[in-house]
Amino acid sequence: MSSSVLFASSNENKFKEARAILSGFGISLEFFKCKLQEIQTNSLEEIAQHKARQAFSFCSKPVIIEDDGLFISSLKGFPGPYSSFVFDTIGNKGILRLLAKQRNATFRSIIAYCETEKYVMFFDANVCGKISRKIQGRKWGFDPIFVPEGQTLTYSQLKNKNIISHRYLALKKFANWYLRKKKSSGQ
């Protein structure tokens, strides 16, 4: 591994996924387990920035956080930035009960990298798809109900999720930038 980065989160599943993805780019992740404040706002960028700065204040080292949201078209983007709260409150069964015929959705990921209190970089990605009619698979979060465009299976059912997901695409942008940054600084 050429480089190591801290990944701040209380979600070990998210960390394991990010670690598997970034290892393919020669970046190793260390888990910085911490509970970060989830501010209430309609902006994933604001949430990610707040979490990244807070994580940096806890560890005083370069750190990344990942925040994401499931934006369902027929629900006018809901749950969006409130996805974690909605999942904890009504879960996948609740989301399925809210939907009628129109099931288009976008999964969005934002990686925020912070190396000083004032320096935060963002890397984001979207994957369009739809919400399945029933829970399919057993993985965590909304993976059992999200079917990415061009696929017939949910994220939970896909063997290659970590090379097509919104999180993968955002982490790929981060990895390319981070490795160029390290190379240009001679590290």
pLDDT (tens digit, 9 = 90+) per residue, 15-25?
A: 999 999 999 99
Three-state DSSP class for 18? helix
Query: Which of 29, 105, 28, 27 lies closest to 65, judged by CA?
Result: 29
Which domains does the chain possess? 3-184 (3.90.950.10)
Three-state DSSP class for 51? helix
Residue 114 pairs with which residues in a beta bridge? 63, 120
The yes-or-no answer on residue 67 being catalytic is: yes
pLDDT (tens digit, 9 = 90+) per residue, 67-110?
A: 999 999 999 999 999 998 999 999 999 999 999 888 999 999 99
Q: Choose, from 67, 68, 124, 143, the residue flagged as catalytic.
A: 67
The count of other CB atoms within 10 Å of the CB of residue 6 is: 19
What is the overall mean pLDDT for the chain? 93
Q: What is the pLDDT of residue 186?
A: 72
Record the pTM. Answer: 0.91
pLDDT (tens digit, 9 = 90+) per residue, 143-153?
A: 999 999 999 99
Question: Token pair for residue 172?
Answer: 């790929």
